[in-house]
Amino acid sequence: MYRYDEFDERLVRERVAQFASQVARRIDGSLTDAEFLPLRLKNGLYLQLHSYMLRIAIPYGTLHARQLRQLARIADEYDRGYGHFTTRTNLQFNWSKLKDVPTVLGLLADVEMHCIQTSGNCIRNVTADQFAGVAYDEIEDPRPIAELIRQWSTLHPEFEWLGRKFKIAVSGATHDRAVVKSHDLGVRIVRDAKSGAAGYEILVGGGLGRTPLAAQVLREFLPREDLLAYLEATLRVYNLDGRRDNKYKARIKILVHEIGIEAFRALVEEEFARIDKARVNADPQEQARIAAYFAPPAYQDLPEVSRKLEEAQIRDPELARFVEHNLFRHKRRGYTAVTISLKPIGGTPGDMSSEQMRVVADLAEKYSFDELRVTHAQNLVLPYVRLDDVAEVYAALKAHDLATANVGQITDIIACPGLDYCSLATARSIPIAQALSKHFADPEKQKEIGEVSIKISGCINACGHHHVGNIGILGLEKKGVESYQITIGGDPSETYALGELLGPGLPAEYVPEAIDKVIAVYLAERQQGETFIEAYRRLGLDPFKAAFKEIADVVA
């Protein structure tokens, strides 16, 4: 994975000193609170319900062992011994003190990490497919251009003060695991039909929140060398023409929606034509320099099948279940990518203790070429595990409550921190996730239900991606009481869809029963081999709505 050179290092160190200066100037009155707020947000520091919250960037979800170990140290010395992985593959500490933040930033810089642009109206942490570089269905590893975009977007002088936040995702595979269509800008690595050369499909104008919209194709094929110039043109059009009169209409999706994709494209292409591309683009040698960091690790030549793992599975049905759910097909023979579920039954989705961080860092070092990934579903991945080693990895995970075999299952729930932590939230998310997790805990029941995603947000901003959950839950406040709206049919993948509302909001205690009804319809109506989302597409909303109504009527 990428390592800082002297320039990357210098920039991050200087940024730490800059933040320390901003804090000092807030305290001495040079900066008003209103002036300081966006400055601290640009450095990932929020003021939440109980404390400051520090959001640390994990660019395109890639971490190495010593970084995770450093996060564990910060959790112990400067926080409350745990961290929370988010749907943007960042890590949040919930109990930060402003006076400690410059020190913490220094500790992060020691391991080539930072909090730059993890909030604020600027280009945010770029995300990617968690299986980048190892997925069987990959056209090309997206991490080199994700890193190129990270560098280009870091402290970009022209785009530091956009009308609103701007999120970029990159995917290099045929299947979309990066929720590209819900991003302000998506980059898909594609091959040109004629020449066979790899280039980029650019999508624009996606987003969740109060106005969920799917990104549309801006450019079908962009030559590799023009990526930065094209991004610059797109961001410039947004910075100039995006609305600034209303915070809720300031995202690029609203601009694209209001003027139409054709008009938007014309503006971008006009600007792109004017840009001196040689002056803006990274030269091919720079792209090659970055790409070299992502060369495949020193794989061994291994057989397709691991007898060792097969025998271990026969002895241990729990291991067999883990293998069935938490392993992902690797492009390299004899290897697998192991997903570590941060969704223990009844736990807080995405939370990880410092002790668990150290355990996983050790495992990454020993079994996965020192590397880890964070997924937008709030899990971790060991990307390069030999099939022969899976049983040992599993045993170590199990000893620390990290071997829950539920990836992609109904208890692998995405949830934002909600009203237990977040000052924007209108309702709690975590207790809903916990109740559902316990409700569907039985592994046999989970297996019967199969692949289905539940995504929970504690407010309309949709950090929990509820719109694209097969089952989405949105917590709102109704006359001072928490109320939960349920949608179904959302899909974050290449068959992207936004969920549809089942009916009126329910009090928290009715949510598990309502989800039960929805699942019961699926189990009763499904055809051979049909997943929940496939059955929904065939059946439509009505049968689910009818079942939901039984609960809604009881509540009413």
Q: Does 542 bind another protein (CB under 8 A)?
A: no
Shorter beta-carbon distance to another protein: residue 18 or 461: 18
* Tokens, residue 259: 């003027």
Only segment of 136-144, 165-173, 190-198, 278-286 that touches another protein (CB under 8 A):
278-286
**Looking at 174, 210, 211, 244, which residue binds another protein (CB under 8 A)?**
244
Residue 47 pairs in a beta bridge with 52
Contact 426, 419 (CB under 8 A): yes
Q: Does 3 bind another protein (CB under 8 A)?
A: yes
Shorter beta-carbon distance to another protein: residue 193 or 273: 273
* Tokens, residue 20: 């320390």
The minimum distance between CB 296 and another protein, in angstroms, equals 14
The minimum distance between CB 27 and another protein, in angstroms, equals 5
Cα separation, 351 vs 39, whole angstroms? 27
Q: Does 236 bind another protein (CB under 8 A)?
A: yes
Cα separation, 457 vs 447, whole angstroms? 25
Q: How far apart are the first and last CA of the chain?
A: 55
Nearest Cα neighbor of 70 from 489, 354, 424 is 354
Reduced to 3 states (helix: H, G, I; strand: E, B; else coil), residue 94 is strand
The minimum distance between CB 511 and another protein, in angstroms, equals 15
The minimum distance between CB 132 and another protein, in angstroms, equals 19
Q: Does 476 bind another protein (CB under 8 A)?
A: no
Contact 96, 79 (CB under 8 A): yes
Only segment of 1-9, 491-499, 525-533, 537-545 that touches another protein (CB under 8 A):
1-9
Cα separation, 24 vs 43, whole angstroms? 15
Site string for another protein, 280-319 (x = CB under 8 A): xxxx-xx--x--xx--------------------------
Tell which positions 38-57 bind another protein, by CB under 8 A.
38-39, 47, 49-52
Tell which positions 503-532 bind another protein, by CB under 8 A.
none
Only segment of 24-32, 177-185, 205-213, 513-521 that touches another protein (CB under 8 A):
24-32
Contact 455, 497 (CB under 8 A): no
* Tokens, residue 271: 């600007």
Q: Where are the beta strands (DSSP E) in 265-396?
A: 327-329, 335-340, 351-353, 371-374, 380-386
The minimum distance between CB 36 and another protein, in angstroms, equals 9
Tell which positions 130-189 bind another protein, by CB under 8 A.
151-152, 154-163
The minimum distance between CB 227 and another protein, in angstroms, equals 13
Half-sphere exposure of 67 (CA within 13 A, CB side): 26
The minimum distance between CB 5 and another protein, in angstroms, equals 5
The minimum distance between CB 97 and another protein, in angstroms, equals 5
Q: Does 250 bind another protein (CB under 8 A)?
A: no
Shorter beta-carbon distance to another protein: residue 239 or 531: 239
Tell which positions 434-473 bind another protein, by CB under 8 A.
434
Tell which positions 398-427 bind another protein, by CB under 8 A.
419-421, 425
DSSP per-residue letters across 508-545? GGGHHHHHHHHHHHHHHHPPTT--HHHHHHHH-SHHHH
The minimum distance between CB 161 and another protein, in angstroms, equals 3
Q: Does 96 bind another protein (CB under 8 A)?
A: yes
Reduced to 3 states (helix: H, G, I; strand: E, B; else coil), residue 341 is coil
- 81: CB partners within 8 A, 6+ apart: 75, 353, 354
Taking CA 54 as the corner, what is the angle to CA 186 and CA 117, rounded to the nearest 5 degrees? 35
The minimum distance between CB 146 and another protein, in angstroms, equals 14
Q: Does 258 bind another protein (CB under 8 A)?
A: no
* Tokens, residue 313: 């599975």
Cα separation, 509 vs 155, whole angstroms? 46
Helices (H), 84-197: 101-110, 143-153
Tell which positions 61-90 bind another protein, by CB under 8 A.
80
Tell which positions 329-368 bind another protein, by CB under 8 A.
348
